[in-house]
A and B are shown apart, each in its own frame.
Chain A
Amino acid sequence: MQEITPLAKMVDIDKNFGAVQALKKVNVEIRSGEILGLLGDNGAGKSTLIKILAGVFPSDGGEIFFEGERVNFSSPKDARAMGIETVHQALSLVDVMSISRNFFLGREPTKKIGPIYLLDRKKMDGECEKAVTGLGVRVRSPNEFVSILSGGERQAISIGRAMHFKVKLLILDEPLTALSVRETKEVLRQIEKARDSGVSVIFITHNVYHVYPVAERFVMLDKGIKIGEVYKKDASPEDIIEIIATGKMPETLKS
């Protein structure tokens, strides 16, 4: 397992916000087709770390490798072009736009009519409806506004969108917060489906019970420092909570 080249690798990542050091020499790697749980309390630096990976802002030190090559993302667009996509509950869909317009935002298909390129609305609606129905979301039409959807439906559509555009690395930022039990189950099923189709998933949460059922490996952060890394077979959820609470790895788990 160790010999496989990771899909993405973040080496010695530093990030400062003014005088606050948000990340200190953090090393994380994500392998092909695995679900990695990124855990830590609020303010541990989880979101900062993945925002650097997703191109939202640059790091102040360290290197990022994607598919073996050194990369430098200056905007989310760059990261997306490489196949890295973030799904954030509050920041993935525009409420006052239709589902199909949201689905293709930034990647709208066009057709050429004379000298001008117009949106291929028929294709947008058709493909969107097919994809959304395949996700088990029931909507009357892809032209409905996103604002009528529930949290689970939004999450499903955001993940489905990433899958539709052949994402390689899917970053999920607190994907289960504020979801009902049934929706949680549905979203977890989708995450596993994504993994089974070969996509790597980084699952960020502060609640280990959200991620434990699906992830194979866990990385724990605290105050900007990586405090531990364990495989599921070596640690129970309680062990992981213990690591986060004490801020260090117990001797028995160190390898």
Chain B
Amino acid sequence: MEKSTNNIGIETRRQVLSFSQIRRWPEFGVILAFLILLIIFSIFSSKFLTLRNITGILTIVSELGIMAIGVAFLMIAGEFDLSVSSVYALSGFLFVTLANRFSSPLAFVITLSIAAFIGFCNGTITLRAHIPSFIATLGMMLLLRGSLLAVTGGESVSYSSDVIMPTILTRFIGYGFRPSHIWFLLLTLLFSLVLTNTRYGNWVFATGGKKEVARAMGVNINKVKVTNFMLSSLMASLSGCIVISRFNLANASFGTGMELEAIASAVIGGTFLTGGYGTIIGVFFGAFLMGMMRTGLVMIGAPAYWYQAFVGAILIIAATINLKLRRLEM
């Protein structure tokens, strides 16, 4: 009798433990939300779960997601980058202009280098001037966007160069799939690996978690931050080049407001606004959720304008749920 009671006790504890283990996955919340939305959209629109629609969503998601990965990686190190949307537009413009004059691979390399330099400036300004990165990159965002508008006068330029980079970046490869989908997936896996399984990833967590501790334990926090600022800019630039290769047209107003969508993707994916915590797989699903809502809402017959309202609502709900889940754990 005594023995059997004990067994029951152990059984129950195991079940509780296994549920708590699932719940402890940092991506738990966002994957749950992702599945719920997927089911809702599939029920209300028969065309939602078709290959054509899925690949269409993937195209938008990849472009937002690549930017969001960079933004989240920097957020985990405890800093913001609002300038990504302007870097995105500037990169598109530079890429087209340079490719039309020289060749697309050269244009691509130069564009990424300039983006990395902008990221370096963001980091250096933030650290040297001791101003919050939110302000430093807000300034950079306005500065770049304004310059771009002033220089181009709002005129678009169209792409008329070789097909090398566009093919590598985004030309169709069959069944509606594009290389950008693969890039997004590979970059997700790469950044995820770096974050969770390298020394550098551990330093990123520590720098965002408590920079004084990280410094005391021998981590060069300034180097970590500047590196992440550069990565954030690079990813935004890559995303800009992809979009322009798809549209064959660059305009100075491209990507306005996209920085907030990228931050929203990161937060929905479980990244802490305060830094020190987050996962790249979560960001992947966060970006997916955003892209899915954009098309899904239209397909179930809601006016396109509702998109922003839904993003706002989901963002608030996701941030609340994520915080609650972390509280249970900490």
Binding site for B on A (CB under 8 A): 54, 56, 75-77, 80, 86, 88, 91-97, 101, 104-108, 110, 116-119, 121, 145, 147-148
Contacts and interface: CB of A to CB of B under 8 A. Distances in A.
Contacts of B206: 94, 97, 101, 105
B330 A95 contact: yes
A58 to B, nearest CB: 15
A33 to B, nearest CB: 25
Contact of A94 (B198, B214, B220, B329): B214
Contacts of A95: 209-210, 276, 330
A96 B209 contact: yes
Contacts of A121: 197
B52 interface: no
A239 to B, nearest CB: 35
B215 interface: yes
Given A119-B198, A145-B330, A94 B276 contact: yes
Given A121-B197, A145-B330, A77 B218 contact: yes
A91 B213 contact: yes
Contacts of B272: 96
27 contacts: A75-B215, A75-B218, A76-B215, A76-B218, A77-B218, A86-B216, A91-B216, A93-B213, A95-B209, A96-B205, A96-B272, A96-B276, A97-B205, A97-B206, A101-B206, A105-B203, A105-B206, A105-B213, A105-B219, A106-B203, A106-B219, A116-B198, A117-B199, A119-B196, A119-B199, A147-B330, A148-B330
A226 to B, nearest CB: 25
A155 to B, nearest CB: 14
Interface in B188-210: 193, 196-199, 201-203, 205-206, 209-210
Given A118-B197, A119-B197, A94 B218 contact: no
Residue among A97, A117, A145 having the largest count of chain B Cβ atoms under 10 Å: A97
A56 B217 CA distance: 11
Contacts of B218: 75-77, 80, 106-107
